[in-house]
Each structure stands twice: as C-alpha cells, then as structure tokens.
Amino acid sequence: MLNPQIALIGSQLKETYYQQEPFPHLIFDNFLDETVALDAAYELKWLNDNFTQEEWRFNQKDHHKNQVLKRSITQLDNMLPTSRLISQYVNNTQFIDFMRDITGMDELIGDWTFNGGGVHITPKGGSLNVHHDFNFLGDPKNPDVYRKVNLLIYLNEEWDDNWGGNLELWEKDLSAPKHIIEPKFNRAVLFNIEDAPHGHPHPLECPEGESRRSLAYYFYDTTPAANGLKDRAYWKEGDKLE
C-alpha cells in the first residue's frame, strides 16, 4: 500500500527527519500507492456526501471551542473497506519496521484501538486549535505505552488553497507557526509529538457540503514521556497551553 519508492528509502530518512525544526518531521507526497489513495479518497467523499445516513459509523461528537465540527471513525468495523485495509496495514510488521527505521525508535508499535485517530472529516467552519497531544494509553499511574509519533494522510482529491485547512507546526514557545502545510491529496506528514504544538486553527472556508478529509495514526513505545504525562490535548491559550 505504501508507495514503493518511499518504502525503499525509510532507513535513509532518519538523519533528515531529526534535522527538521522546530521538531522532527517529514512531509511525503504520493505517500500511498495511487490506486489505494484514490479508493480511500472516494470512500471518505462518499461518507461526507451521505453523512446523514452514515452518521452511525462515527464516534460520538466531541465538539468544543478548540475542536470545532471534527468527526472521527475509530472502530475498524465502521470504516469502509479501503480505509479499513489502510488502518490494518499501518499496524503490520512491514510498515512498523518502516516507521522504526525513520524514527530510530526500535520499540515503536501501532495502536489497534485507533484512539483519537482513524478517519477524520471536518466540514466548513471546522477547526482544530494549536495543541499538544495526549501522550499515553492506560492508567496514568502506570501507563501501558507512551505516544511518540503521529502520521497524518490527506485524502481530498481536490483542495483549493482558499479553503484553508493547512496543518501548522508551531515553534515550541508558541511564538508563531514554523511550517504551514497544505493538505494536498495523498500527502502525509510524520512528526514526533513531544514538545510539538500543531493544529489547523483557522475555520475552514470550503463550500457547504465540502470537508477536510484525512486518516490519522498514532504510534507508541514503552519509553516514558520526557515532558510529563498528558491524558488529553492541551490547547493554545494566548502564549501558553491549557
């Protein structure tokens, strides 16, 4: 499913990954095999266009001032076939090895619960404020694993620059966005989450009936988080996170 040209160079990307500022990250275009990406894009558009009758697939709403209108599917059985296959693929040994090669995290594992990840669809007016992610699974007194890496895959076949929805990677001190990344079709963004404020904080200006569509996957290991435990997202409020 992964573009073979990308799969073959995973071990060569580690140095580049860790050279990026303000925190380790890489941007991949044409990340998935084109046919797979097109099939997944078709599915997510179909869900968007048929949302009323397909709303049962989505998790319960979790809308507030920092997370506006985003809807998620985290249960494999509720995903459509290609999205489900991709979600299974990113947890298999071959793909995990690819992720370990890039990040240098030899104990990295996926997450079959897709907690916070899976299918994401955000319609007109939606946004996601700049934030730090939750960073563990399990009991906060004795976590099972610690979240280390995010992988986001964008799946709108057509995206107008004027619609916004750009992913922003912010300076660690929250002074300004360092990178503004357009959610182009079959583009993936991989980044370490520690001290890594990010989001798409500006309300989407796409037409009514359109949406920003993506897949999100999170990866974990057993090394404790260096910046303390976060059992939820911490959102940007002025020059600090709350």
pLDDT, position 106: 96
pLDDT, position 227: 87
CATH at residue 27: 2.60.120.620
For CA atoms 116, 162, 208, 82, give the dihedral sign. negative
For residue range 64-84, list pLDDT tens digits in order.
999 999 999 999 999 999 999
202 token code pair: 């500006």
As for how many domains the chain has, the answer is: 1
For residue range 18-32, list pLDDT tens digits in order.
999 999 999 999 999
Cis status, amide bond into 201, omega within 30 of 0: no
CA–CA gap between residue 163 and residue 26 (Å, rounded) = 23
Residues 6+ apart with CB under 8 A from 17: 24, 25, 26, 102, 103, 190
Question: Mind giving me the DSSP string for 125-140?
Answer: T-EEEEEEPP-EEEET
67: containing domain: 4-241
Radius of gyration of the chain (CA): 17
- Which residues of the chain register pLDDT less than 50? none
Between helix 34-49 and helix 81-89 the angle, nearest 10°, is 130
201 token code pair: 């904080």
Integer angstrom CA distances of residue 224 from 12, 25, 145, 214, 220 = 26, 20, 8, 29, 10
CA–CA gap between residue 127 and residue 239 (Å, rounded) = 19
What's the chain's length in residues? 242
CA–CA gap between residue 9 and residue 31 (Å, rounded) = 12
For residue range 86-117, list pLDDT tens digits in order.
999 999 999 999 999 999 999 999 999 999 99
According to DSSP, the residues that pair with 132 across neighbouring strands are 234
